[in-house]
Structure 1
Amino acid sequence: MMGKVMSPGFIPQVRASALQTFMNVARFVRLDPYSLLRQNKIRPEDLEDPETMIAASALVKLYEDSAAQSGREDFGLLIAGSRSVGTLGPISLLLRYQPTVRSIIEKVIGNMKLLNDIVSANVDDDGHHAMIRIEHLPGFAQRQIIESTVAIACRSWRELMAGAWQPESVHFRHSAPTMLNTHRRVFGCPVVFDSEFDGIGCSSASLDLANPWSDPAMAAHAQRFIDMLSHQRPTSSVTEQARQAIFLLISSGNATKEKVAENLAQHPRALQRMLSRENTNFGELLNEARRELAMRYLNGSKQTVTDIALLLGYSTVSSFTRWFTEEFGKSPAAWRKSSPEDNITKVTAKAA
């Protein structure tokens, strides 16, 4: 991880419920769950209370280690496949009584900090087709946690709508695994790899399907309870919120200071003043996002350099190549041909 990936003193966390099915899944793929937990400095007793908050970095590494040691590229999906909406905790009560899928998703987005500190999302809806873009903080965007997060979203929204809502497609920036059986079973729709975003596609009309369990009075009671819980968790810094907004908007070409400020309900000048108080600025955050995404696309997808340039907001391949070479000391094509060890050395040297 390089640059200002997170604000000083901010340690991203996730609810221990993310590991509720870990023990059984680990045994299913013939792993020793206790050994893996120890390796990643997670105490088994922390899994007993789903409301316990654990370090997000430990959970992400645990998922990746489990996938590598078991040889199961679908490990994150196996974790998600047996989780119900109830494992989301108190927020599940609020979601249960919302009137439509759209309002369910809006409540998830608005209360994400009750679930974790590393995921953000937004909805791009043109009136015909909607894309729910799901982003992870820089340094946490690994295959297993990304696929698990998207799968949990699909599973939860289906369950809340008694199966009436279904995704039209699921998207991942990374390339396809060797076997797709689990992906087909879990998602039940086309899965697009080497995509421009991580997330879910569905019709606009499906977002407005009526929830059979909708109850305004119960939703209001649940909201008051959630509001009480929200005040108990620290709010992430403006830097973190701006960084998440940039990641959400960049692939659609909207990662401008004005659009990011709009996403955060701020005037652009006000946003810049707030960022200055945290010793950063919009240009630095945009550059960090481009660095993170450039490495992810080049390392984990089959996107062409031309496509990557466009996804990162460059109008020409030459301008992207020039920027990339200045940042990493080699061209995008040379980066892809180099060994991961050599590339890590380049990144480390740049950060130093």
Structure 2
Amino acid sequence: MSNHPAKSSIIGAYAIAIAEALEDRGLSAAEIFRSCGVTLPATTDPMLRIDNQTIAKLYSAAVDATGDPCFGLQAGEMMRPANLHAMGFALLASISIRDFAQRLSSLYRIVSRNAEIRTEERNNVFFLITSVAAGASVCHETHDAYTSLIFNLLRAISGNRFRSRKLELIRPAPPGLEHVFREYFQCDVEFNRPELVFAIDLEIVDKRLPGASEELAQSHDRTVMEYLQRIDSGDIVSRVRAIVSSELSSGTLNKDRVADRLHVSTRGLQLKLTARNTSFQEILDETRRTQALAFMSRSSVSVTEAAFSLGFSEVSNFTRAFKRWTGMSPSEYRRSLGLER
């Protein structure tokens, strides 16, 4: 265990889920952890991390002890919201599945830097897509636990009514056990795919969820962002994102302004962001999109207020951007959440 947030690591509380899954099978988690030279964490503090190699060692020992190649699925079930710190509770309070997906994409790095998460829409299907971050080496059981975690969170927020049209997994098919995954996820499952993909009917993505609470979600979001600033204090992308978030409404936000705040040249900033496979414009768009969805999920914020708070000079520009992000105008999005008639 380490308090250093290395790139190829995961929140230490993840190990607690592995231990609980072992105990649920009647096995001694303490003995198995000791055999791997790992101390079972006693806290869900997101600053406590565990490296991928140690996680893989724990899973290998757990699979040997249980004789179950699908053990990762059960470990994922044990990942309760509290294991994910404030992000878990923010996800449970999400307004819609789209809001959940955007929050997962924006905040998941508090749990792990192994994943890069995005969404796409094609032919009336919404895709929640996870790829493995460059340089990360992740065992099959970690893939299984992550997939199980997301699936069970989606079921929890939808009142156990969530169904995926199809699921694509990165891991290869376990010989003779393909049916276990199809029965568990209750849909067609494809293995050995380049990315992990939940394919979801677009018609359910923007429906207001039973436990939706924008105020609660945003409160937990702020807690997560505080921890992320500590974890990513030396991360140029996080530093740019923090400046963009604080100055969106100023009317003076641009690449030169951010470079000046960071005491680097504009070209130097551009090179640093390029090295991280992003750009100032991408960070600006991502930040605006995340905040726009939050604003449009609150009936107390008008479209005009949201537009100017996000730094748009014209409401029409905000409307066009919002439609590009969601496929709907702000008013249509609000109607889909039951906030307007």
Indicate conservation of the 8 Å contact 2:36/2:58, yes or no: yes
Counterpart in the other structure of 2:309: none
Indicate conservation of the 8 Å contact 1:170/1:190, yes or no: yes
Q: 130, 133, 156: which is aligned to 2:129?
A: 133
Counterpart in the other structure of 1:312: none
Call closer, same or farther: CA 1:125–1:238 in 2, change over 3 Å: farther
Counterpart in the other structure of 1:37: 33
1:120 is the counterpart of 2:116: yes
Distance 1:28 1:194 in 2: 29
Indicate conservation of the 8 Å contact 1:97/1:219, yes or no: yes
1:169 is the counterpart of 2:163: no
Indicate conservation of the 8 Å contact 1:76/1:144, yes or no: yes
Q: Deviations over 1:3-51 (max 9, x none)?
A: xxxxxx945332222123322422455754334323433212x1x2122
Indicate conservation of the 8 Å contact 2:167/2:190, yes or no: yes
Indicate conservation of the 8 Å contact 1:94/1:222, yes or no: yes
Distance 2:93 2:66 in 1: 39
Which SS does the other structure have where 1:20 is aligned?
helix
**What is the CA-CA distance between 1:98 and the residue it aligns to?**
2.2
Amino acid at match of 1:64: S
Which SS does the other structure have where 2:232 is aligned?
coil
Q: How does 1:249-288 map to 2 (within 5 A)?
A: 273-274=271-272
Call closer, same or farther: CA 1:172–1:209 in 2, change over 3 Å: same
**What is the CA-CA distance between 1:71 and the residue it aligns to?**
3.0
Distance 1:234 1:113 in 2: 10
RMSD of the TM alignment (CA)?
A: 3.2
Counterpart in the other structure of 2:333: none
1:221 is the counterpart of 2:215: no
**What is the CA-CA distance between 1:54 and the residue it aligns to?**
2.5
**What is the CA-CA distance between 1:195 and the residue it aligns to?**
2.7
TM-score (norm 1): 0.60
- Deviating above 4 A after TM superposition, structure 1's stretches of 4 or more consecutive aligned residues are 27-32, 235-240, 269-272
Amino acid at match of 2:122: D
Indicate conservation of the 8 Å contact 1:77/1:182, yes or no: no
Amino acid at match of 1:122: R
**What is the CA-CA distance between 1:121 and the residue it aligns to?**
0.9
User: In the comparison of the two structures, how many residue pairs are matched?
Assistant: 243
Call closer, same or farther: CA 1:208–1:128 in 2, change over 3 Å: same
Distance 1:235 1:73 in 2: 38
Counterpart in the other structure of 2:201: 203
Indicate conservation of the 8 Å contact 2:96/2:206, yes or no: yes
Counterpart in the other structure of 1:142: 139
1:105 is the counterpart of 2:101: yes
Q: Deviations over 1:212-270 (max 9, x none)?
A: 22223333333333332322222575699xxxxxxxxxxxxxxxxxxxxxxxxxxxx87
Counterpart in the other structure of 1:54: 49
**What is the CA-CA distance between 1:94 and the residue it aligns to?**
1.9
Q: Deviations over 1:39-95 (max 9, x none)?
A: 433212x1x212252222212331233224543110101211343334322112322
Amino acid at match of 1:227: M
Distance 1:98 1:73 in 2: 33
Q: 151, 162, 186: which is aligned to 1:154?
A: 151
Identity %: 12
Which SS does the other structure have where 2:101 is aligned?
helix
Call closer, same or farther: CA 1:111–1:132 in 2, change over 3 Å: same
Amino acid at match of 1:143: H
Call closer, same or farther: CA 1:64–1:135 in 2, change over 3 Å: farther
**What is the CA-CA distance between 1:112 and the residue it aligns to?**
1.2
Which SS does the other structure have where 1:103 is aligned?
helix
Distance 1:166 1:11 in 2: 33
Distance 1:27 1:158 in 2: 24
1:96 is the counterpart of 2:85: no
TM-score (norm 2): 0.62
Indicate conservation of the 8 Å contact 1:133/1:198, yes or no: yes
Call closer, same or farther: CA 1:271–1:150 in 2, change over 3 Å: farther
